[in-house]
Amino acid sequence: MNERLPTNERVRMALVGCGAIAEMHRYGLERSGAPIDVVATVDLDGDKATEWAARFDATPYTSLDDALGDGEFDAVDLLVPHDAHEPLAIRVLDAGKHLLLEKPIAPTVAAAQRILAAADAAHDRAGVVFMVAENAQYWTEVVTVQRLLAEGAIGEPITARAAALIPPLPDFYGPDDAWRFDPAAAGGGVAIDTGSHWIRPLRMWFGEVAEITGAIGTSYPRMAAESLVRALLRFESGLVASLDLVLADTPFAPDPLFRLTGTTGELLIQPDGTVRLNAKGRRMEQIGEPAGYLESYAGAFSEFAAAVLHGTPPAADARFALGELQAAHALYRSAESGRWEPLAGGSSDDNASDR
């Protein structure tokens, strides 16, 4: 049981980083109904911090240090560029605050391990909760497919395809100086960023990835790092799945987000959020009603609040998120070597700037 339970049985949270992803977190928090109150907002841009503070009747700050020194809050929702994850996350943890950190943990595996070490120390010292906000873990359609696989809906899985074909959303890729265009800030391109949302479901369904081979390229020239990925993932079970990531300013035709093929049928997650089952002896049918991708953020907040207030373990602990980061770096190594690369191989200090 956490020794630092808020006395009012609600979590007082500071929102650190008021950029595009903050909108998705705000939506998820509101939809979750979780007992969390945003009482502080932090952004280097004072106008943004003030604007977001007004939404929550919170106190604005322009630095994390000022917020930690002055603010009365129990937890931090950290939403900053990837290269700022390590210094800010460790500062939060050392201050004894619970931490919900937007994925990936960090640009490199070594940096991620340092954050995890700081989280372990903070937990041992003060019962601090550390959780990585990989919202795909709570994606309703992904969880539905997980249940159907367990029920044997398509027999024994044979293979799968995950595909993210996305336009450059203005809120994320609009400004010419958007940090995602800078490999030093992002740690890479779509593999390390968007790719985690497609790799996590594959790991939920099929277990751990053993090795990866693939190629990276450019489909959106404004991004200095890769905007196109074609990869194969071999799982420890031997199953092979494909991963396609394409960021391009082009109209995409509808294509399943996920397609799972088994010995007795197929499961698809469609762009409209519907789960469809095509099994032997049955017509293709829709399973349940689509909840939509954004609903997955609600699940993350619900689990975070339960962990802080009641010590309830989340569905996946923070260390599990290393898998997506390691997969991205294995892909980067494979793009250079032209070979299958193990997730455990290479240097723990893999960095996009070294490629």
Residue (of 31, 56, 30, 28) closest to 42 by Cα position: 56
Angle of CA points 227, 228, 229, to nearest 5°:
130
- As given in the structure block, the two tokens for residue 218 are 């450019």
Indicate the CATH number of 137-291+324-354 among 3.30.360.10, 3.40.190.10, 3.40.640.10, 3.30.470.20: 3.30.360.10
pLDDT category at 345 given cuts 50, 70, 90 is: low
Residue 349 pLDDT: 52
Q: What is the pLDDT of residues 61-86, one digit of tens each?
A: 999 999 999 989 999 999 999 999 99
Residue 281 pLDDT: 83
| Extents of the domains making up the chain | 11-135+297-316, 137-291+324-354
Q: Residue 121 and residue 168: Cα distance in Å, rounded? A: 39
Work out the burial of residue 218: count CB atoms within 10 Å of its CB; fewer than 13 is exposed, 13-18 middle, 19 or more buried.
Answer: middle
Predicted TM-score of the model (pTM): 0.93
Q: Find out whether 41 and 53 touch, Cβ atoms under 8 Å.
A: yes
Strand order, beta sheet including 130-133? 59-61, 36-42, 11-16, 75-78, 98-102, 130-133
Provide the sign of the torsion angle of the four alpha carbons 220, 226, 232, 237, taken in this order.
negative
Say whether pLDDT at 352 is over 80: no
Residue 3 pLDDT: 45
Q: What is the mean pLDDT of residues 17-43?
A: 97
Q: What is the pLDDT of residues 100-126, one digit of tens each?
A: 999 999 999 999 999 999 999 999 999
Question: If you ran DSSP here, which 8-state letter would residue 227 be given?
Answer: S
Residue 30 pLDDT: 96
Instruction: Name 337's Cβ contacts closer than 8 Å, sequence gap at least 6.
Output: none
The mean pLDDT of the chain is 94
Residue (of 294, 296, 278, 276) closest to 286 by Cα position: 276
Say whether pLDDT at 350 is over 90: no
Q: What is the pLDDT of residues 285-302, one digit of tens each?
A: 999 999 989 999 999 999
Write the Ramachandran bin of 171: left for phi over 0, alpha for psi from -120 to 50, otherwise beta.
Answer: alpha
Domain 11-135+297-316 fold is Rossmann fold (3.40.50)
**Cα 31 vs. chain centroid, distance in angstroms?**
18
